[in-house]
Structure 1
Amino acid sequence: MGAYDAETDRLAVAAREALVREIDAEGAFAGDPVWREAFAAVPRHLFVPYYYVAGPRGYERRWGESPDPEARGRWVRGAYEDVPLATRLRDGELVSSSSQPSLMARMLAALAVGDGHRVLEVGAGTGYNAALLAHRLGAGDLVTTVDLEPEITESARRHLQAAGFHPAVVTGDGSRGVPERAPFDRIIATCELATVPRAWLAQCRPGARILTPLATGLLALTVRDASRGEGRFLPTPAHFVPLRGADRPEPGGVSLAGLPGRAREQETFRFLLALTRGTLDPQEACALWEREGMPERERYGVTVDGEHTWAWLDEPEGPYAWPLP
């Protein structure tokens, strides 16, 4: 990764300051204001030396070492917009991205990281999130990030080194955790899963917190012991690239034909559909959603107990509960 010219560096500083102000104004740092300092300090542009922007003729590649000064300016300003950035495409399909910074801030605040905590990040991406964690936790070998794809872990490692951070970067199946780096106090996933991997619980200390995308929501699970955990969803919607390597049921299309428009258009109804896929058909889900007053995400939760994992509305004991894989 080459050094950038003085004008690019100046633009980066100004754009980063503007991004931090924008995230702050949205209240994303309110849960744990220490993250404001991390976002102000960690240079996102070093983690996205190039990225892709969707346009009328497909994806346009923006590159930090373009010979055109205007193109470099577009790249660095885009690197600090509060949007997800597509960083890897394969046959036109997105396989890796840098998440929306304000969503990252909300997730990190909700993770409730404390001094001295050992943290596992599942889904290394560009390395930016691991850098934010490493900045928060300071010196010490406390952060581990894992990804299945060697090219992703290798580039994340390069980006982290260029920015001056040295967490452990591991190539492997994130659904299996990283047992050699356990036990963990916190696990955060930046990719979508179909369920909570039991291996994660086994690698956590009692009282640990797991934050993972699930069914277009964010689940915050408290670990009781190596085989038990329970928690509720945050109010925030979340859409992530699926975890590669995990056993995932094929999503398949779900027909919304015949459902009332108010349900089809509501994010909370689509969340219920995703959470109960394979258990409730759309008509049953719609009837439940309307009967229960169109519940928001935070009324739902998940329990892991031994070999059984289930999602629920309001209470783990039911009456509304659905098995997860």
Structure 2
Amino acid sequence: MTDADRADPYVAAAEPLRARLVRRIATAGAFDPRWRAAFEAVPRHLFVPVYYRLRPSGGGFTRLSAGSPDPRARARWLAGAYEDTPLVTHIRGSELLSSSSQPSLMAAMLEALEIRQGQTVLEIGTGTGFNAALLAHCLGPEAVTTVDLDRAITDAARAHLGAAGYPSVTVVTGDGSLGWAHRAPYDRIIATCELPSIPPQWLRQCRPDGLVLAPFGGGLIALRVTDSGHAQGRFLRTPAYFVSLRGTGAIAHPAPEAIGPEQRIRTTTTPPQVLDDDLFRFLLTLVAGELETRWAFGGRGAAVTAADGSAARAARDGTVLLAGPRDLWALAEEAYDLWQREGRPQRDRFGMTVDGDHQWTWLDRPEGPNAWEV
């Protein structure tokens, strides 16, 4: 038993919960023995002493804490820490700032990094520090650097890593879109926040033949780095939804209901309910750029908005209300025609290329007819 275990009053109660979580992750797909050992060794509950659940009624969050005076509430907190679900850990008002990712998704991402002993990793989006601890268990804490914009988040993560026995992980408070040049170059860069594009600093800080793994458009892109300005790769098949990148690389969106005063009306034969399909939304994001989508009108239609102020509402009767500089629904129609023609392609048929300042996504091949600027 380690010193950290002796200081942890939940170590015995957590052991069977952790074993059950590891079994669930193993049933979700391939599970390299190194990562299985990491998940067996690193206690997730130390990284989520407080987390929040959305109330079923939609009326805000319920707080669960290791410090609750009610033993039943503490038992619910501990059990929830070992469920294969994401956990909201930092909120500001109604805004979600940070979370602990779904463990099975974390395992899939770590597998996809193709890490070897002796390599170094930069993590963008520290969160609770749990992912950094898994990396540290596999590679050694000196090999891991993790960056987050919010000092409250990095301070908490540093404390969690120390409590779990990994105080030597380098935790940086900074703008993740800029990377962390002080410890570059890295063999691997992994992001745990949604990106609007690949920051150029990341490629400059990654060794040739290194790998950048990042959430993009509701998927995970694995980019093999050629040099400081070039990288290319394909998306993993798995869906992935993360809190958006904050800092200089972030973009803002108006609410989907905020249709501007310059309204235009037309009709469509593309069913708005297609936006309920995860694979279609992924393709639409590649075609149209990062969007916010939401069902509206009591389920009778859908709304989409983009960062440039463009917006579209499509009703089930085929009526479309438009605003802003672009016809977003025309892009939805274009994506729908391609989606149907190509047999509703899975994410791993898509890829991304970075060539200096030029970035684009594509279907099947980089030079093919189906390619979209990022």
- Matched to 1:123, the amino acid is G
Closer/same/farther in 2, CA of residues 154 and 186 from structure 1, 3 Å limit: same
Partner of 1:16: 18
Report deviation, 1:168: 0.3
Hey, what's the Cα distance between the residues in 2 that align with 1:141 and 1:258?
57
2:356 maps to what in 1? Answer: 306
Could you list the per-position Cα deviations for residues 87-128 of structure 1 after superposition, in whole angstroms to 9, with x for gaps in the alignment?
A: 011111111000000000000001111101110000000000
CA contact (8 A) 1:28 1:102 kept: no
Cα distance in 2 for residues equivalent to 1:284 and 1:133: 41
How far is the alpha carbon of 1:58 from its aligned partner? Answer: 2.5
Aligned-pair identity (%):
55
Write the mapping of 1:102-113 to structure 2, written as runs, cut at 5 A.
Answer: 102-113=104-115
* Separation (CA, whole Å) in 1 of partners of 2:83 and 2:62: 16
Paired residue for 1:144?
A: 145
Task: Tell me the equivalent position of 2:158.
Answer: 157
Task: Identify if the C-alpha distance between structure 1 residues 249 and 50 changes in structure 2 by more than 3 Å, giving closer, same or farther.
Answer: closer
How far 1:26 moved relative to its partner? Answer: 1.6
Contact 1:11 1:77 in 2 (8 A): no
* 1:17-166 equivalence runs, <5 A: 17-29=19-31, 32-55=32-55, 56=57, 57-138=59-140, 141-165=142-166, 166=168
Provide the residue aligned with 1:291 in structure 2. Answer: 341
In the alignment, is the contact (CA less than 8 A) between 2:199 and 2:249 conserved in 1?
no
Moved more, 257-266 or 16-25: 257-266
In the alignment, what sits opposite 1:172?
174
**AA in 1 matched with 2:42:** V
| Counterpart residue type for residue 279 of structure 2 | T
Cα offsets for 1:136-180 (capped at 9, x unmatched): 013x51100000111111110000001010210011111111001
Matching of residues 169-318 of structure 1 within 5 Å = 169-252=171-254, 253=256, 258-260=269-271, 263-278=274-289, 281-318=331-368
Aligned 8 A contact 2:128 2:160 in 1: yes
5+ unaligned residues in a row in structure 2: which ranges? Answer: 260-266, 290-327
Q: What displacement does 1:304 show?
A: 0.4
2:300 match: none
In 2, the alpha carbon distance for the partners of 1:47 and 1:249 equals: 29
Name the structure 1 match of 2:311. Answer: none
Cα distance per residue 1:255-302 (max 9 Å; x no partner): 997423673332111001112225971111111111122111011100
Provide TM-score, normalisation by structure 1: 0.93
Q: Secondary structure at the match of 1:141?
A: helix
Letter in 2 for 1:169: V
Query: What SS is found at the alignment partner of 1:281?
Result: helix
Would you identify which runs of 4 or more consecutive aligned residues in structure 1 move more than 6 Å? 254-257
Corresponding pairs, count: 319
Larger Rg: 2
Superposed CA deviations along residues 63-100 of structure 1, whole A, max 9, x for unmatched, are: 10212111111111110000000001111111100000
AA paired with 1:153? Answer: T
Task: Report deviation, 1:249.
Answer: 3.7
Q: Which moved more, 1:294-303 or 1:252-261?
A: 252-261
